Amino acid sequence: MPTMNAKYISIFVTTDCDLGCSYCYAQQGRDDNVIDVEFAKVAIDDFFSKYPHRGIRFQGGGEPTLRLNAMRDILDYSRNKWGEVNVELQTHGAFDKETLKWIKDNVNIVWVSHDGLPDVQNIHRPDMQGGKTNLIVESNIKRLIESGITVGIRCCITTLNVDRQVEIVDYLSSLGVKTIYGDNIFSTDANEYMNHLYSVPSWQDYTEGFIKAKKRAKKIGVFYGSWLTVNFHSETTHNCSSCIPYPRLTTDGYVSSCDVTSLGKDGPDIFIYGKWNSNTKQINYNKKQSVILNSRSLENLDRCKHCSIGPYCAGSCAGKVYLKTGSLFTMDHETCKATKKLAHYLPLGMGKEEHEIEHP
């Protein structure tokens, strides 16, 4: 299924976080803001009234489990009014037993950010005091899997682990994980102060390591994917749901279409197409901006529409391309070359590239 069909409303619960990941694209907006629950309720009503989908995704800018009460209030409202709701959570995984129990009772799919190997995890993703996080995160991963929760891993690939992607697959498989996405990081203004121990890997190194890991994963019954390959499963006109657009709610009261805009005040504002009015208790949607976002389709991408893999890429991730080029409609050269290389080695279409769960 193309990722444009990921049918849920996303809620950035808080900008607060208790980890110190230096590559985090949202670190510039770090504070203790929390989503306005009334805003979330109105947006959910708008979304569920417009679409038949009953899905809610809780995620960053910060760590959503730090504001469990907000998630609880939003879900209670949604279930009381709309019935059964499919719930997806994106988390750093370093939560306590109380939170673990709540997740088991309320969440269907959990995406845990873990960078594949204990030594890499502890360098990439320390706590705010620089302490190790691998033990608690790995314990929670195993407990979630044992309870029957569907668990996927979001793994960031840097120069520290780019040549160890096969090891990543083997290690996470030993924890019981069946779905892994290993995504190469990229430079932005927000993460320019990355740890001196690692940096952005070259697309050549990333794709070579990915292909080896993909072969290993297939052999042992694990899915290993990438943001570059998310649409290899079947043809699509739009790369992802940000181009529909489907809503992401920010803690400062904006409706964004893309995860890279987790705060309206920090942008990029091209993905903003709505604003919460706390006085009228309504969301003012910008229909013109919605049309612009929806127009990022294959037929409007001059460099992509005649490409042999265009229907399985559709311009790649809108947010990442915009951050790298400053345009929704210009393809990033390195991303293009990396995607084409992977397409040469991996099957395209006809459901050959199977996904257990869609890319987060």
| Annotated domain spans of the chain | 9-235+352-358
Residue 352 in this model has a pLDDT that exceeds 90? no
| pLDDT at res. 133 | 96
Each residue of 130-141: pLDDT tens digit? 999 999 999 999
- The residue type found at 353 is E
For the domain 9-235+352-358, what is the CATH superfamily, name and number? Answer: Aldolase class I (3.20.20.70)
| pLDDT at res. 313 | 93
Each residue of 204-228: pLDDT tens digit? 999 999 999 999 999 999 999 999 9
Residue 27 in this model has a pLDDT that exceeds 90? no
**Could you tell me the pLDDT band of residue 161, with boundaries at 50, 70 and 90?**
very high
Q: Kindly give, in sequence order, each residue whose CB lies less than 8 Å from that of residue 177, ignoring residues fewer than 6 positions away.
A: 141, 145, 151, 152, 153, 222
| pLDDT at res. 79 | 97
| pLDDT at res. 209 | 98
Closest CA to 108 of 358, 336, 325: 358
**Could you tell me the pLDDT band of residue 234, with boundaries at 50, 70 and 90?**
confident
**Could you tell me the pLDDT band of residue 66, with boundaries at 50, 70 and 90?**
very high
Mean pLDDT of 28-36: 77
For the question of whether the overall pTM of this predicted structure is more than 0.75, the answer is yes
The C-alpha atoms of residue 314 and residue 32 are separated, in whole angstroms, by 36
Query: Which segments of 108-164 does DSSP mark as H helices, in order?
Result: 118-124, 134-146
Q: Kindly give, in sequence order, each residue whose CB lies less than 8 Å from that of residue 49, ignoring residues fewer than 6 positions away.
A: none
Residue 359 in this model has a pLDDT that exceeds 80? no
The C-alpha atoms of residue 335 and residue 29 are separated, in whole angstroms, by 26
| pLDDT at res. 25 | 66
Strand partners, 225: 181
The C-alpha atoms of residue 110 and residue 104 are separated, in whole angstroms, by 10
